[in-house]
Amino acid sequence: MLAKWLTSQTVNIVDSIEDWQTAIQLCAKPLLQNNAISPDYIQAIFKLHESIGPYYVLAPGIAMPHARPEQGVNQLGLSMLLVKDGVKFNSEENDPVYLITLLAASDSTSHIEILTQLATLFGTQNDIQTIFNAQTPAQILSVINHY
């Protein structure tokens, strides 16, 4: 299921990144390129972060930035960025974040199956550790293909 959305075009790895905003922009880039989202969606995530904090940092090392469908989603989309050195999102208990998975939901229901599969992945420590240690997108995708 996840392999339909997470592909060699939507999964990237960088050694380090300047800050959380740049991390989100880089993670979102494939979804901008395939028109799943507009630039407004990224700005909506930034505004939410500024007003309520890093609400999308789910667990130690894992973030899933997202906003509302009407805030710039054109179609369902998912992208992933691994930051080898981690990046701070100002989430005291969960920084640094290594894995950023950007979700663009086009309505309130179509992404539920994706969320279920991501929750299973995020809860499987061995697979998350394999992703954290990945050197290539192909290594990440070999884990994603099980979900």
Q: Which residues are catalytic?
A: 66
The pLDDT score that the predictor gives to residue 108 is 84
CA-to-CA separations, 83 to 29, 30, 51, 123, in angstroms, rounded: 15, 16, 25, 19
The pLDDT score that the predictor gives to residue 42 is 98
* pTM (2 d.p.): 0.95
| Residues with pLDDT less than 70, the chain | none
Note the residue count of the chain.
147
Q: Model confidence over 82-93: pLDDT tens digits?
A: 999 999 999 999
Q: How far apart (Å, rounded) are the C-alpha atoms in residues 62 and 101?
A: 8
The pLDDT score that the predictor gives to residue 97 is 98
Residues 65 and 27: beta-carbon distance below 8 Å: yes
Residues 105 and 36: beta-carbon distance below 8 Å: no
DSSP state of 4: G
Burial state string for 69-82 with b = 16 or more CB within 10 A and e = fewer than 16: bebbbeebbbbbbb
